[in-house]
A and B are shown apart, each in its own frame.
Chain A
Amino acid sequence: MNETGKNRRKKFFGYLKAHWQLYVMILFPLIVIFIFAYGPMYGILLAFKNYKVSLGIWKSPWAENFGMNNFIRFFNNYNFMECLRNTLVISLYSMFAGVPCSIILALSLNYAKNYLFRKTVQMVTYCPYFISTIVFVGIINMMFDIRTGVLGSFFSDHFGVNILGSAELFPSLYVWTGIWQGMGFGAIIYIAALAGVDMEQHEAAIIDGATLLQRIRYVDIPAIVPTVVIMMILNMGGILNVGYEKVLAMQNQMNLSSSEVIATYSYKVSLVSSFPDYPYSTAIGLFQSIIGLILILITNKIADKISGISFI
């Protein structure tokens, strides 16, 4: 408590002398992360500028309206509401359909008593997770092709819909194929949580005459709530950056009105466009990052208040 600053510094240098190797070790990943994660943060300045390639980021003049012009342009653009709506629909739909599916699978596997059967189902349901986005979207396109695909021809013959070409059905197609791919993998974490449930609680419940469904409701579900909360917090931050690799790969001219999300829009106005607008795209990206950060902090706070679980 009474240590002077000098003393403390001396102690620190003593530590440094004995353990300099630890600092050398951590230096390498630090350098990489400073260049490739913090380096781009300098480029954020671009969002507030009128970029002139010849002048570079620093010397380019500030944008109009106190540097906020790029943001104003985005908010006033007719694409903005559509992109924002599509982004929210896709990510919330994914989350609220995907998490329960994984939980149901985990509960179901937990009560499948035959070991070999359970392992087989587990293995098969994890499997699609390893299929790459490109191959996966390729498979979707093939299966839902209205002429040659087995599901596509079925739906087009019986219901007269072209699933691949329908903007209305795009969110559902995206979410349910995503569940097909990720449900098994998402269940792992809940299976682990269920394995941690105290067997004594189950035994006590059985003695009290609880049915299986009651035990699930009153013993298992409360036990996995903390895990669910943490997963929700982690998901919340990414709510505006939906896995756009898959969205981008699934886009076509016909579903564009519901498949254009903020990330794909910002990619198109910059790197694909014949008149690349870097500051505009940067502003969109920054908007996305900031909302993400705010959402993480808010959900974290709420979760902390309600259940005492926080991540940060």
Chain B
Amino acid sequence: MKEPFKIIASGEGGQGVLSIAKIIAYAAWQQGFHTIYVPYFSTEKRGGVSVAFAQIWDKPIPFPKFHKADLWVALSQRAVDRIYDYLHDDTVTIVNSFLVKDVTRIKKWKPYEIDATTIAKEQLGKPRTFNMVIMGAMLKFVPGLSQEGFAKALEKTFKDKYERDASLRELNEQAFNIGHDLVK
């Protein structure tokens, strides 16, 4: 890898975009990569656009922020409108099409439009799993990250939740696989 692989996850505060980036960074670290994650947080805990930066490399990463992402995910319309500046010519873009209705601004990047919200609600019966659908799709594009390794990271991250409710593990797996299979 000549450069770190750079990921941006963006959306509304409280949607869990920070967790998405954090989990992917953690999973990569578990698989032996150097990773850095930093949230680009605003003054309020809630109500602002929320952005997270993650980088994965086989060498130590010099700086937590960057200007252009290789993989870019937007979970809200405001995120598309405000964070599109972080795209380079070949950035892979993914949006949750249930929340992002207008992709004109990023049309030339041919975004993957995934209705993760509807999938989570109707196929899985648990709206919060939409993030897992998105992560499944994202993982297709992160170099060097195996699905098994990712599953292990999830085990550690959700240890407490899985202990309380074991059915959540299966649900997450299902959601992940749906997202993973949606992108070709």
Q: Do A and B come from one complex?
A: no
